[in-house]
Chains A and B, each alone.
Chain A
Amino acid sequence: MGAVTVDNIVKFYGKKEARVTALQGLSFDVQKGELFGLIGPDGAGKTSLFRILTTLLLADAGTASVDGFDVVKDYKAIRNRVGYMPGRFSLYQDLSVRENLEFFATIFNTTIEENYELVKDIYSQIEPFRDRKAGKLSGGMKQKLALSCALIHRPSVLFLDEPTTGVDAVSRKEFWEMLAHLKQQGITILVSTPYMDEAARCDRVALMQEGKIMSVNTPAGIVNEFGRPLLAVKNTNMLQLLQAMKSCEGVEDAYPFGEYHHVVLKPGGEAAVKTILEQMKMPYEQHPVTPDVEDCFMALMRNKDGQ
């Protein structure tokens, strides 16, 4: 049995008349010691799923278990053994760094000294500010403190809800390095993020959209599923270019991607694209690219809409 199993979980919000379906029957498993990513835009249902798994919400249908315990029946056992870091900074802002960590250690019947090894890497970075109030820390430091607090009792499964949202690029990179390190300690980690580029850091990811899982695979596996040639194109009139690409018959899909447009080709569509670029009589640039998770996400979304 996996560290986390989710079987056909359904969640509604609101009364019958204005019912919103947040989760439409999700199923997946997370193996022990795995770093598992839930990737999806805001409103995909990531937080709802996390709250169901951390026993904070009851699902309307389906079952789920964490570490072999049922999230409804054995909620007390789960609360003893998981670490949870909500999306919003949820520590006591008027308590100092040290006081927050001490408080959470005591609540979980342990001490900072006992599990210092585990949080050392992370906590040592904020230890110079241990007497500063948590509310006065920078965004990145807040996240480090929150992670320390969620880890201090050596949880068997760690739930991190969008830990890198609103954090600068350097801190984000550091944060993922910490997660990789924790994984080596044998902790199962579930992490959600709206940033597609972070997917590559996970062992496996689930791509979520509107309460559904579109695909569960390794980052490489997801990219392999793409299976079509992809071009990056650019010229001086990007808006016109995008419209031209979309209406080109050799093109399956085209969408802005950074300073380029990514163009998904139909088999043998390359020539048609080239003709259009020439016809526009502007300096242009085009080269094939390897698809990344974001390209796959776009493709999956389009498939779903097409159905």
Chain B
Amino acid sequence: MKQFIAFVKKEFYHIIRDKRTLFILLGMPVVQIIIFGFALTNEVKNSQIVILDNAKDAASAQLITELGSSRYFDIKQNVYSYKDIEAAFRAGHIRMAVVFPPHLDEDLKHFNKAQIQLVADASDPNVATTLTTYAGAIIQDFNKRYNQGRQLPYTIQTEVRMLYNPQGKGAYSFVPGVMAMVLMLVCTMMTAITIVREKETGTMEVMLVSPMKPIRIILAKAVPYLLLSLVNITSILLLSVYVLEVPINGSLALLGFESILFTLTCLALGLLISAATDSQQTAMFISLTGMFLPTIMLSGFMFPIENMPVPMQVVSNAVPAKWYYMIVRDVMIKGAGLGAVWKQTLILTGMLVFLLAMALKKFKIRLA
């Protein structure tokens, strides 16, 4: 035990004395959360639109005010013909145009119906869809109020409720994603690199010719990174709750437990990589391309897995981050309990056991 503690202590010296790396390890989650929270957001805000108001009556004036006052739209200008709309799109300033028909108010009153045209720039299809949905909702809203107190025959209205994330905030999906990414990076890459570094500098040679058991060397390497990861999890959660206002709806203890489980899985993966490689460069390359990219692409955090072709969906099952991402989303955002995520938990545990067994089996007790 004394040996083990001495080894862990030594490992901490390595980490603390390498100030630059330590700074990156602790600063990265903060920076990522802030970047994702404020810069790289796929929410649509303050999109510039133009209005072609052929009606110029009470109803259109009311709608224009409501569109303009929502935080999604900025009315850039009023135009007077379709040609102007096209010119505005070509100039690249606007995302959408709203066209009101002549006699909007009268049509509504006399024929009980009117048509408003939304013209969106679909060169970015997601943004176009989002904008038309927002505009549609505002118009529906207006419509409802307009109809208040009137008897209308046979109308079906859709009542939409955005569960768990009523404001449609992007943070709800990327906080779990960033957690998975950071843990993957800190645990997998850093453990792989530190063990391989001992091989490269020759210290592993000396360590092997000592009474220290290989399994202890491995575990002692993992402990500091486990602690470092806990610090990172804490800082991510604090930032997301207090800065991004993403609530933790589920049990914090469960979230912590699942995070530790995932961290251990990542550590085991790092150990396996280190056992299989001989240079820091290779270890880093494998961790980055083999682990980090799949984590981003196949965990469902950036791109929905359901949309992928079936082979990709099958491959995504092998990515630990996918399961962790599902767990965090369920526990943190939806407030689910262990009952809802036991399957994912079991899968992660299985991966951990498998990876750890592989790492121990592959660990070389000799040099070659």
Nearest B residue to A90, CB-CB: B202
Chain A residues contacting B205 (CB-CB under 8 Å) are 56, 84, 86, 90
Chain A residues contacting B367 (CB-CB under 8 Å) are 51, 56-57
Can you list 29 contacts pairing A with B, beta carbon distance less than 8 Å?
A54-B209, A55-B208, A56-B209, A57-B366, A79-B208, A79-B211, A80-B211, A84-B206, A84-B209, A86-B206, A90-B203, A90-B205, A91-B206, A92-B13, A92-B14, A94-B17, A94-B18, A95-B13, A103-B6, A103-B10, A104-B206, A104-B210, A106-B3, A107-B207, A107-B210, A107-B212, A108-B211, A109-B2, A149-B206
Chain A residues contacting B203 (CB-CB under 8 Å) are 90-92
State A128–B368 Cα separation when bound (angstroms): 39
Q: Within A54-87, which residues are at the interface with B (CB < 8 Å)?
A: 54-58, 75-76, 79-80, 82, 84, 86
A294 on the B face (CB < 8 A) = no
B181-217 interface code vs A (CB 8 A; 1 in, 0 out): 0000000000000000000011101111111100000
**Chain B residues touching A, majority SS:** helix
Chain B residues contacting A103 (CB-CB under 8 Å) are 6-7, 10
**B209–A82 CB distance below 8 A:** yes
9 extra interchain contacts, Cβ-Cβ under 8 A, other than A56-B205, A91-B203?
A58-B366, A79-B209, A84-B206, A86-B206, A95-B14, A104-B206, A107-B207, A109-B3, A149-B206
B143-157 interface code vs A (CB 8 A; 1 in, 0 out): 000000000000000
Interchain nearest-CB distance for A193 vs B (Å): 19
A93 on the B face (CB < 8 A) = yes
Nearest A residue to B203, CB-CB: A90
**B2–A106 CB distance below 8 A:** yes
Q: Within B1-44, which residues are at the interface with A (CB < 8 Å)?
A: 2-3, 6-7, 10, 13-14, 17-18
Chain B residues contacting A84 (CB-CB under 8 Å) are 205-206, 209
State A40–B18 Cα separation when bound (angstroms): 40
Chain A residues contacting B17 (CB-CB under 8 Å) are 94
Chain A residues contacting B211 (CB-CB under 8 Å) are 76, 79-80, 107-109
**B210–A108 CB distance below 8 A:** yes
A99 on the B face (CB < 8 A) = yes
**A92–B10 CB distance below 8 A:** yes
Interchain nearest-CB distance for B11 vs A (Å): 10
Interchain nearest-CB distance for B9 vs A (Å): 8
Chain B residues contacting A86 (CB-CB under 8 Å) are 202, 205-206
Contact size range, B: 20 to 34
Q: How many A-B residue pairs have CB under 8 A?
A: 74
Chain B residues contacting A55 (CB-CB under 8 Å) are 208-209, 366
Interchain nearest-CB distance for B17 vs A (Å): 5
State A102–B9 Cα separation when bound (angstroms): 11
Partner among B13, B212, B368 whose Cβ is within 8 Å of the Cβ of A99: B13
State A79–B2 Cα separation when bound (angstroms): 18
State A36–B208 Cα separation when bound (angstroms): 24
Chain B residues contacting A92 (CB-CB under 8 Å) are 10, 13-14, 203
A190-226 interface code vs B (CB 8 A; 1 in, 0 out): 0000000000000000000000000000000000000
A88 on the B face (CB < 8 A) = yes
**A90–B206 CB distance below 8 A:** yes
State A89–B201 Cα separation when bound (angstroms): 8
Interchain nearest-CB distance for B172 vs A (Å): 42
Chain A residues contacting B3 (CB-CB under 8 Å) are 106-107, 109
Interchain nearest-CB distance for A294 vs B (Å): 30
Partner among B6, B14, B212, B365 whose Cβ is within 8 Å of the Cβ of A94: B14
State A75–B213 Cα separation when bound (angstroms): 12
Chain A residues contacting B368 (CB-CB under 8 Å) are 57-58
State A108–B2 Cα separation when bound (angstroms): 10
Interchain nearest-CB distance for B165 vs A (Å): 46
Chain A residues contacting B14 (CB-CB under 8 Å) are 92, 94-95
Chain B residues contacting A90 (CB-CB under 8 Å) are 201-203, 205-206
**B18–A93 CB distance below 8 A:** no
State A12–B212 Cα separation when bound (angstroms): 28
Nearest A residue to B2, CB-CB: A106
B343-368 interface code vs A (CB 8 A; 1 in, 0 out): 00000000000000000000001111
Chain A residues contacting B365 (CB-CB under 8 Å) are 75
Interchain nearest-CB distance for B220 vs A (Å): 10
* Given A57-B367, A90-B203, A106-B3, A95-B10 contact (CB < 8 Å): yes
**A107–B6 CB distance below 8 A:** yes
Interchain nearest-CB distance for A163 vs B (Å): 14
State A54–B210 Cα separation when bound (angstroms): 10
**A88–B202 CB distance below 8 A:** yes
State A52–B275 Cα separation when bound (angstroms): 21
